Structure 1
Amino acid sequence: MMLKNSFISMVKVPGVMLEILVLRREGAEQSCGRILSSPSTAHSLKSAAILRHSHARNKGSKDKVKSPPITLLPSASSNTTAPSQTRIVSDIKENYVSEDNDDKDGDLFTDVYHSPKLFKLNFEEMEEIFKIYIYPDGDPKTFYQTPRKLTGKYASEGYFFQNIRESRFLTDDPDQAHLFFIPISCHKMRGKGTSYENMTIIVQNYVDGLIAKYPYWNRTLGADHFFVTCHDVGVRATEGVPFLVKNAIRVVCSPSYDVGFIPHKDVALPQILQPFALHAGGNDHVCRTALGFWAGHRNSKIRVILARVWGNDTELDISNNRISRATGHLVYQKRFYRTKFCICPGGSQVNSARIADSIHYGCVPVILSNYYDLPFNDILDWRKFAVVLRENDVYQLKQILKNISHEDFVSLHNNLIKVVQKHFQWNTPPVRFDAFNMVVYELWLRHHVIKY
């Protein structure tokens, strides 16, 4: 249903035809675009500013949020990402992203970060002095194996392997290194059909060989070593080597504690399925008319409850079966565009790209899980661009989302698109403040607590 005083117009962009729904709201006009051509034209949309910015603005109108966003605060006894009780409150200070920020780093000085100025200073220091040494030993077909195409659910691991070799942080001198990278990648072993038991033996023999040949592990018993894995195969293979898991830093797409994730030691690697099928969501909050969206497999208790309670609701778009990303004229991705809040329930697997999808398409993530160590949780205040709930809140989910005012939603959305999106994007070569640099910054933070 269209808002009052809205109208439809057709706009031509090279290689694509758009249907523009212009919405008049609160003295300003904003456009919503819908793709009418094939998915191959998605790249052309990146240059179509009409999808990202206001179609027209009345004189004197300003697109700022004047009220602070709703935050969900945990009780003192709960963990940082899953409040033991949901308390919807307003923060005292303003949380919107100012468009008048003249700082050279743009939106860094916002409270989306726990400590913006400290993050900026530490990040600059990291860029100047941080060095990582990669062990050269081992069969490259078994250990260091970057996929030919950085796509699919293992892409984050592949991007990190490639980015570290392209970055300023790499050193050939182990005496200059702050951390040591063990280039274990189970991607090749998985493709060969190697059993978990044999993978564990291969990994253990490789690490034992490094310890015997080089003196660096024994200096800290491996505390200044790290490895990266972003799939269940790698997690299971390395868990069979207890001294590696307990001592070294694990950079892993395993944010739940049931896989032995230790928040103060390990790093949550964001799982990002790139390339994205469509362009990033922009300043399009007026176009988001659906309250909530989730589509997926019921492979966990919370997902079963979510589908049972809200599967037939008229305001929450909840689907029992996952919509294919490759078919259906990009139906799955388009539903992110028109939705305010995208539900991200915990699943049975150690990885999920749903959070990164929500961030990319500008849909405010709703984290619905009791134990979830979110990516970059040491740096970002997730309550400023997401809604964090415990699993018991699933029964009140719709009311919780409806209680979030329009102004508070706009603030969450603005923080998401103006600050957070760049942190959940892989690039080659890496770009400042992108996913690779944020992961390296997490490693930089952990190296400070290592005692020699």
Structure 2
Amino acid sequence: MRWQVRFISAIVVVSIGTPLYLLSRTPRNPPINGKTSRTAKRESSFDFASRLDSLPSYETIAEPERTSRASSRTTPCTMRSCFDYNRCKNGFRIFVYPQAPGEKVSTLYAKILRVLRESKYYTLDPKRACLFVPSIDTLDRDRLSPDYVHNIGQKIARLAYWNGDGTNHLLFSVYAGTWPDYSDRLDFDTGKAIVARASVSMTTFRAGFDVSVPLVSKVHALKGGRGDGDGLKLFPIHKKYLLAFKGKRYLTGIGSETRNGLSLIHNGDDVVLVTTCRHGNNWEQNKDERCDSDQEKFEKFDFVDLLRHSTFCLVPRGRRLGSYRFLETVEANCIPVSLSNGYVLPFSEKIDWNRAVLNIDERVLLQLPYIVRNVPNNQIIAMRQQLEFLWDTYFSSIEKVIGTTIEILFDRIHPHLSRSHTAWNHPPGALALDPTYSPHLTSFPFYAPLGQSKPSPNFTAVITAYTPIASRSAPLFNLIREIGKTPSLTKILILWMCDEMPPNPSSWPGIAASTDVEVLTGKERVVSSRFNVAQKVHTDAILSLDEDAIIIRDEIDFALSVWRDFPDRIVGFPARNHVWDADKSRWGYTSKWMNEYSMVLTGAAFLHKYYAHLYTNHLPASIRNLVDQTSNCDDIAMNFLVSHVTKRPPIKVTQKKKYYVTAAAAQGGGGGLDPQPQSQRMTMWMSPTHFSQRQACINMFYSVFGYMPLVSSQLRLDPILFKDPVAMLKKRYRRLETSE
């Protein structure tokens, strides 16, 4: 009889205490105490996607609208009705209002303003601006918060270019409303301004106009991402815990229903959902009979351990629809299970969250263990891969969160340049794509495989020349003769960096009539010029060479064949590495022969034309300035850039056996293979300051990027049968092994 009483009590708690209910179409083997019967586990015909589709859609269940005591007004808007496109006809520029004397901003908003001022779209001229961002802190509209700004409506209305309705203005908000109703309506008139909002509901979100952003904390990194070795492991597929959550429980009010029900599916084994009611000023006065027992369970589990060792992490709504827990689970690569009806997920306009998150109706809480147990293994792996990509690309820093927000607006304002769904949801992501480069996705190096075709077999040679031509046996002429033997060559661009005039065209060595030769003698002779050639190159492949590079046709042909299989990488010959100096707490640069490398120098390497475009137009100006001032480190900067975009290392290919690194190169390295005595470039390498400059460059670039993007590799690609004891006639690139 005692067990009957307990059973009836449990039913009363579920049916009266919370609005939870089971699906009307229950599974054949319903979960018991958070566990599934053996029969359910053995179901081979389970169709996860179709079963999940049978659940009530979270999109159809909007958050009930709550009234706010504060006066507010949000104008119903679309881009067509509330945005002035004429302001953007001369380009996409962002003006940030100067900060008024004595006007304070929160730590988080200061980071946002800094990112905007360092953006490639920033302008000091409001007449050129397409978007306007106030320096008034609009982030926190919770009246109980110390960061709450009073009289903000009046301050916003007095902005010089607000013009009564805020057209073409961009506002940021992470919190709206306060106790007890936590309304997500802002407490001031936003007019026609676009609002980038966190924790926003479908009832107040102006789809296609506002932007849903993640809730980030003030300690969120300003810049950066995951560096080499920081990638998360995809295996084991099933971790120690199946489903986990550790957080607050609200005894009454908004958000209490779902969290109060978590104990019903907690089993203390593989489903760990522990909460505490010990928070807030009056928790002791409001504590219920579960508080003490819940606290005992709560203290048994470590928060970080649960995140790292759980397959799925529950993200229930709190007082507001969004919470910090969402980004915490994404960063930990724990698949989020979102329980927040009506919540507009961050950047959902562009990001396909169905590939990375389980969105579950709050009313089917009791079904959660059954749902997550039946997610197929291959889908778990795919979701983890997607989570890692999304975190590193769009969420790992304030710079990326704000950059994503701005690029979404760019796509709206310039629909003809808008990046596709594939670009946003496939590595390396939309932020790595400059839509002005090409309207075709397959024109970019990382999406070429999607078109089921390799880049064209032709290439353009770009040679940087520093030394006057003394005779027809000069290193530059010897190099041109050798690369001219390659049938894939279509054009030679020579960057003439010497004070003397280039030789008469009639004296250039003979090459194929179909090969175009162009000498560039611009006034601005800086080393970065070697990459400022994208507009003059009509092939995907660029062979970047220093005048003193010793290279033969077989090496070129083989390296080109490798590059065509890996067009997103730098493929070349001389390699270098970066190392961490623990004693000095800084990065070091080394040219020692090792079984590992992270850079392939661009004095003899193939790279995609798009990277030359990125270097010239999007590499931070501080890096380009350092490179040009020191006439050094351009190759290191290019490796930083490519690895930052791709998250992959370059590829070293085999070179002719007789080649070796000379003493001069060993001291500091540089472009090319073996610098010849006549080369002015060699004199630069032998400078005592050359190597120390490269050490400084590594650390300066690391500081600008905010993390170390270089990725180490131990791979070297050789031709088939290379050095195998077979007849040379059977080898395609036989000159790689001959002594001639």
1:346 aligns with 2:317: yes
Structure 1's 377 and 72: CA in aligned 2 closer, same or farther, altered over 3 A?
A: farther
Given that residues 139 and 173 in structure 2 are in contact (C-alpha distance below 8 angstroms), is that contact kept between their aligned partners in structure 1? no
Counterparts of 2:338 and 2:396 in 1: how far apart (Å)?
Answer: 20
Provide the residue aligned with 2:163 in structure 1. 217
- 2-structure distance, mates of 1:134, 1:249: 15
Q: CA deviation at 1:195?
A: 10
Give secondary structure in 2 for the equivalent of 1:379. Answer: coil
Distance 1:295 1:349 in 2: 17
**Residue type matched to 2:233 in 1?**
N
Q: Which of 328, 345, 350 is 1:379 aligned to?
A: 350
> How much does 1:383 deviate?
0.6
Question: Are 1:412 and 2:383 matched, yes or no?
Answer: yes
5+ residue gaps, structure 2, are 1-46, 63-87, 280-298, 416-740
Give the structure 2 partner of residue 321 of structure 1: 276
406, 409, 416: which one aligns with 1:443: 409
Q: CA deviation at 1:271?
A: 1.9
Do structure 1's residue 304 and structure 2's residue 248 form an aligned pair?
Answer: no
SS of match in other structure, 1:377: coil
Match of 1:336 in 2: 307
Aligned counterpart, 1:136: 98
Contact 2:321–2:343 (CA under 8 A) maintained in structure 1: no
CA 1:334/1:192 → structure 2, altered by over 3 Å: closer, same or farther?
A: closer
Contact 1:223 1:248 in 2 (8 A): yes
Q: CA deviation at 1:330?
A: 10
Shift in Å, 1:130 = 2.5
Q: Is the 8 A contact 1:298 1:307 kept in 2?
A: no
Q: Tell me the equivalent position of 2:174.
A: 230
Residue in structure 1 matching 2:188, options 216, 241, 261 = 241
Aligned to 1:173: 125
Residues 16-415 of structure 1: matches in 2 within 5 Å?
Answer: 70=49, 80=59, 129-136=91-98, 138-142=100-104, 145-147=105-107, 155=108, 157-185=109-137, 199-200=149-150, 202-210=151-159, 213-214=160-161, 217=163, 221-232=165-176, 239-242=186-189, 244=190, 246-257=191-202, 260-273=204-217, 274-275=219-220, 282-286=232-236, 288-299=239-250, 300-321=255-276, 331-349=302-320, 351-415=322-386
**1:220-245 deviation per Cα after TM superposition (whole angstroms, max 9, x unaligned):** x3231111122347998983323x1x
Give the superposition deviation at 1:426.
1.0
> Which residues of structure 1 form unaligned runs of 5+?
1-67, 84-125, 148-154
Q: Matches of 1:169 and 1:270 in 2, distance apart?
A: 22
Q: Distance in 2 between matches of 1:72 and 1:356?
A: 27
Determine the C-alpha separation between the residues in 1 that align with 2:274 and 2:300: 17
Note if contact 2:172-2:196 (Cα within 8 Å) is conserved in structure 1: yes
Report the 3-state secondary structure (helix = DSSP H, G, I; strand = E; otherwise coil) of the residue aligned with 1:441. Answer: helix
Once residues 376 and 51 of structure 2 are traced to their aligned partners in structure 1, the CA distance between those partners, rounded to angstroms, is: 14
**1:379 CA drift (Å):** 1.1
Question: Computing the radius of gyration over CA atoms, which structure comes out larger, 1 or 2?
Answer: 2
Relative contact order higher in (CA < 8 Å, ≥ 6 apart): 1
Deviation (angstroms), 1:204? 1.9
Partner amino acid, structure 1, of 2:96 = I
Q: Is the 8 A contact 2:106 2:147 kept in 1?
A: no
Q: Does the residue aligned with 2:389 lie in a helix, a strand or coil?
A: helix
Do the aligned partners of 1:186 and 1:233 also contact (CA within 8 Å) in 2?
A: no
Kindly tell me the number of residue pairs found equivalent between the two proteins: 310
- Verify the 8 A CA contact 2:195 2:211 in the aligned structure 1: yes
| Deviates most, 173-182 or 278-287 | 278-287
More displaced stretch, 289-298 vs 335-344: 289-298
Partner of 1:10: none
What secondary structure sits across from 1:239 in the alignment?
coil
Are the counterparts in 1 of residues 140 and 173 from structure 2 also a CA contact under 8 Å? no
| In structure 1, C-alpha distance between the alignment counterparts of 2:317 and 2:141, rounded to whole Å | 28
TM-score (norm 2): 0.37
